[in-house]
Amino acid sequence: MSTEPSAPLTAQSIFNLDGLFSNPVFAGGIGLAGLGAAAAFGRKAVIGGAGLLRRQMLVNVEIGKRDPSYGWVLQWLAQPRDNSGFLARRVTRLRNLAVTTNTRAITPGHGAGTGEASTHADFRVQPGYGRHIIRHRPGVYIAVHREKASSTNTSTGEPHETLTLTLLWAHREVLGEVFTEAHALAHRFHEGKTVVYSAKRMEWVPLGKPRLKRPLGSVILDEGVKERIVGDVKEFLAAQQWYTDRGVPYRRGYLLYGPPGTGKTSFIQALAGELDYSVAMINLSEVGITDDLLAHLLTQLPEKSILLLEDVDAAFANRRQRDSDGYSGPTVTFSGLLNALDGLAAGEDRIAFLTTNHIDRLDPALIRPGRVDMMVRIGEATRFQAAEMWDRYYGDIDKDKSGRARFLNRLDELELFGQNKEAPRYTSTAAIQGLFQFNKDDVEGAIKMAEGLIPRTFEPELPGGSIKSPA
């Protein structure tokens, strides 16, 4: 019995590819897998292409809440806009809104028709959280995304917020217009007002609402004092290049000292209004204000602001060991204050005012030149100040100034200008102002009550809780 040799084994015979591909189920699966792979590749290509196109054609600007322009831009976005036109009506949308309200009292005779005091409220609408689209001008649209993050600021506990503006790369020059207009709008909003900042942990925050600017003429200092300080400050502001050319730190310090109620703080507020500056206050006695924090705050002062350190003598007068309630007194050291004012960590482009009622308690190192460049005593009321204040309150009534002469003579009789050298007696401008405010438009009443300007002396509490006072 003869046998024929078997055919050699090949890959095709082992895998039988022809048979596999001729199988409709297998061929269909391969086709579907190919289509899926092609679809996935195409989707990835489209996403990548869209991302590339977006990066090439769009520009994004992200603004954090801690940036000063954050509030400016929000206020700018809330301005009314012309959305006429087919595309603008269908594309622009500002649906998620937030409202901020400002109130002010209206006194009778100034808009309250009933004769009773009322409250005027200003409502400002701004974009809320979410996505918005606005039309800046015909053909120029800006996408806005206001987002609140889940993380918070460790120093204030407030959540982080960002504001993202997106527009076409071809319209990128519009960003300059946006920030310029937003800054101008914020300036108009604060026009005629003085913003007061207070230190809150690691940053400066506005202290309440902006105050109406106090006219410089409303603060009456002794003859020539106000003009000397204002002239020196304005000369400093105009000499920045002079300081730069000579390598001198561009900062200037002033110390106003004298008894309470003489107008030290009032003058600083009026000076800020005259210069169109804000005021940044720090309480050195506040618990939590450390040397490092003070140095940081002084290098991060708000733009165009006057630094005010009130009652610097009290910051180091009551140093003591930790009490049972956990309070250990001020946490700013004297050396820390000196370094913050005039050390390696000291900032520049700064005007600083220090005030004290007791200059004798200040260390000479604190008031040496370089830290304090000008010291001015704001003292008790003088005859010149009393006359100027009279004219300001009663000038439109006492046209012949006869009432002023009788008022000044009465103050002379009471020896309130230090005529008695053995036991000098003085009054303050704050006391005179209080007298005039109590006797509005009443010249005779102000003269009759002039005796109330005699400084009162308080004695220890007597039996029954009464306080003995000569006036």
Specify the pairing of strand 278-282 against strand 305-309: parallel
Identify the CATH number of the domain in which residue 370 sits: 3.40.50.300
In a domain, 367, yes or no: yes
User: Does the structure show a pLDDT above 90 at 386?
Assistant: yes
| 349, 440: one domain | no
Indicate the number of domains in the chain: 3
pLDDT of 328: 52
pLDDT of 46: 66
pLDDT of 320: 47
Specify the pairing of strand 350-356 against strand 305-309: parallel
| 366, 230: one domain | yes
In a domain, 21, yes or no: no
| Cα–Cα dist 117/391, whole Å | 29
pLDDT of 112: 46
| 318, 426: one domain | no
User: Does the structure show a pLDDT above 80 at 336?
Assistant: yes
pLDDT of 334: 84
User: Does the structure show a pLDDT above 60 at 279?
Assistant: yes
| Cα–Cα dist 109/361, whole Å | 49
User: Does the structure show a pLDDT above 90 at 375?
Assistant: yes
In a domain, 104, yes or no: yes
In a domain, 201, yes or no: no
| 363, 419: one domain | no
| Cα–Cα dist 368/100, whole Å | 46
pLDDT of 321: 46
Q: Is 72 exposed, middle or buried (0-12, 13-18, 19+ CB in 10 A)?
A: buried
Q: What is the pLDDT of residues 5-61, one digit of tens each?
A: 555 545 444 455 566 556 666 556 666 676 677 777 777 766 765 565 556 678 888
| Cα–Cα dist 349/366, whole Å | 20
| 100, 145: one domain | yes
Q: What is the pLDDT of residues 54-69, one digit of tens each?
A: 566 788 888 888 788 8
- Domain of 80 in residue numbering reads as 58-189
pLDDT of 469: 47
Rg for the chain, CA atoms, rounded: 36
- Residue after which a domain boundary falls, among 377, 397, 418: 377
In a domain, 9, yes or no: no
Instruction: Give first-to-last CA distance, the chain, whole Å.
Output: 151
pLDDT category at 384 given cuts 50, 70, 90 is very high
In a domain, 469, yes or no: no
Who's near 77: CB < 8 A, 6+ residues apart? Answer: 94, 126, 127, 132, 134, 144
- Residue after which a domain boundary falls, among 340, 360, 377: 377
pLDDT of 16: 57
| 126, 243: one domain | no
| 268, 370: one domain | yes
| 264, 407: one domain | no
In a domain, 53, yes or no: no
Question: Which comes out higher in pLDDT, residue 443 or 320?
Answer: 443
pLDDT of 141: 84
Q: Return the SS3 of 133.
A: strand
In a domain, 276, yes or no: yes
Share of the chain above pLDDT 90, in %: 32
What's the token pair of residue 240?
């920045």
Q: Is 44 exposed, middle or buried (0-12, 13-18, 19+ CB in 10 A)?
A: exposed
| 315, 422: one domain | no
Q: Is 175 exposed, middle or buried (0-12, 13-18, 19+ CB in 10 A)?
A: middle
| 337, 303: one domain | yes
pLDDT of 466: 47
Specify the pairing of strand 130-137 against strand 203-206: unpaired
| 335, 396: one domain | no
| 266, 370: one domain | yes
User: What's the whole-number mean pLDDT along residues 312-338?
Assistant: 65
Question: Which comes out higher in pLDDT, residue 145 or 322?
Answer: 145
- Residue after which a domain boundary falls, among 327, 346, 377: 377
